[in-house]
Amino acid sequence: MSENPLPSIDPRDKAEILAQALPYIRRFHGKTLVIKYGGNAMTDPALQADFAEDVVLLKLVGMNPVVVHGGGPQIETALNRLGKKGEFVQGMRVTDAETMEVVEWVLAGEVQQDIVGLINQAGGKAVGLTGRDGGMIRARKLRMLDNKDPSVEHDVGQVGDIVSIDPSVVKALQDDAFIPVVSPIGFGENNESYNINADVVASKLATVLGAEKLVLLTNTPGVLNKAGELLTDLTAREIDELFADGTISGGMLPKISGALDAAKSGVNAVHIIDGRVPHAMLLEILTDQAYGTMIRSH
């Protein structure tokens, strides 16, 4: 965050840029926007501060941003300190009991509180929640079938599959001008904890909140084809093809499936964008500039 990052822009151009945001502010006024902040998009402190400012700006012009955060790299660092190494199956972190403990304290204790602090510092009123708060995210153990051979089931430990989301606590906070910041942890029938992929939580939360937009910030320019070129627009059929030919792998698997589910369930605009670009979210929401990959339901 530099003092004056746009010194070379003519004041008239600056005014023009600001004025051009008006139709977008009008369109999204009072609407809910669910924003997934990775994991991998949040490792740079300057970008984190920019992100927090963007969230506050959106709130102050009358939108209802809800932040869901990830924490892959942060969990990895904590596990390494304990001499453990993360293991993934089809984009999901294998979560034994010890890993679950680490996941809970890193996500709810560290990453979530960092984001809450930054948003508050930028002038917003953020409140951190896990899926336990207000009984928000009910989960059960994910039964993961192999992508290629569905007769094979992988045991990924305490990875959660969402049973239901009760968004009433999020709504109550929104009505009171707070900005909810949600850690992707769910609870089961016996009050056990589940580690849920943050993209999956963001997508489902966007659906149950009837969000206007879902923005998934990540560490690539968007979805890339085999040649490494950005795919600006994807339909359900095209996504099936990318799954089938192996173009999509790792963390992009739950991201795209979640995004597609949200698009099919009525979330109007679903975007996967590059969180490493300063103010990427602001550009996506308040300008006519198209960034990253837009996911369409058909």
Rank residues 173 and 259 by Cβ distance to ligand ADP and give the closer one: 259
**Partner interacting with residue 202 (select from ligand ADP, Mg ion, none; CB below 5-8 Å by kind):** none
Give the residue at shortest CB distance from ligand ADP: 251
Round to whole Å and give the CA distance between 170 and 177. 11
Round to whole Å and give the CA distance between 166 and 169. 8
Rank residues 167 and 251 by Cβ distance to Mg ion and give the closer one: 251
What string marks each residue from 108 to 147 as x (binds Mg ion by CB under 5 A) or -? ----------------------------------------
Residues that bind ligand ADP (CB under 6 A): 38-41, 70, 72, 199, 218-220, 223-224, 247-252, 255
Judged by CB under 5 A, how many residues of this single chain contact Mg ion?
A: 1
CA distances from residue 272 to 137, 163, 196 in whole angstroms, order as listed: 23, 25, 19
Interaction residues for Mg ion, span 151-210 (CB under 5 A): none
Rank residues 38 and 124 by Cβ distance to ligand ADP and give the closer one: 38
Which residues are within 8 A (CB) of 78 and not within 5 positions of it... i.e. 6 or more apart? 102, 105, 106
Q: Tell me which H or E stretch contains 94.
A: none
Rank residues 70 and 128 by Cβ distance to Mg ion and give the closer one: 70
**Partner interacting with residue 276 (select from ligand ADP, Mg ion, none; CB below 5-8 Å by kind):** none
Which pairing describes strands 293-295 and 269-274: parallel, antiparallel, or unpaired? antiparallel
Read off the amino acid at residue 216: L
**Partner interacting with residue 247 (select from Mg ion, ligand ADP, none; CB below 5-8 Å by kind):** ligand ADP
- DSSP-H helix ranges across the chain: 11-20, 22-28, 45-60, 72-81, 97-104, 112-121, 168-175, 198-209, 236-244, 252-264, 280-286
Helix (H, G, I), strand (E, B) or coil at 89: strand
Which residues are within 8 A (CB) of 93 and not within 5 positions of it... i.e. 6 or more apart? 72, 75, 86, 87, 99, 103, 156, 159, 195
**Closest distance of CB 34 from ligand ADP, Å:** 14
Are the CB atoms for 155 and 191 separated by under 8 Å?
no
Q: Which stretch in 58-66, 105-113, 232-240, 251-259 sits in contact with Mg ion by CB under 5 A?
A: 251-259
**Closest distance of CB 44 from ligand ADP, Å:** 13
**Partner interacting with residue 218 (select from ligand ADP, Mg ion, none; CB below 5-8 Å by kind):** ligand ADP
Rank residues 222 and 251 by Cβ distance to Mg ion and give the closer one: 251
Name which position in 167, 180, 251, 275 contacts Mg ion (CB under 5 A).
Answer: 251
**Closest distance of CB 99 from Mg ion, Å:** 16
Helix (H, G, I), strand (E, B) or coil at 288: coil
Which pairing describes strands 193-195 and 233-234: parallel, antiparallel, or unpaired? unpaired
Does 71 engage in binding with Mg ion (CB under 5 A)? no
Rank residues 64 and 218 by Cβ distance to ligand ADP and give the closer one: 218
**Closest distance of CB 67 from ligand ADP, Å:** 14
Q: Tell me which residues touch Mg ion (CB under 5 A).
A: 251
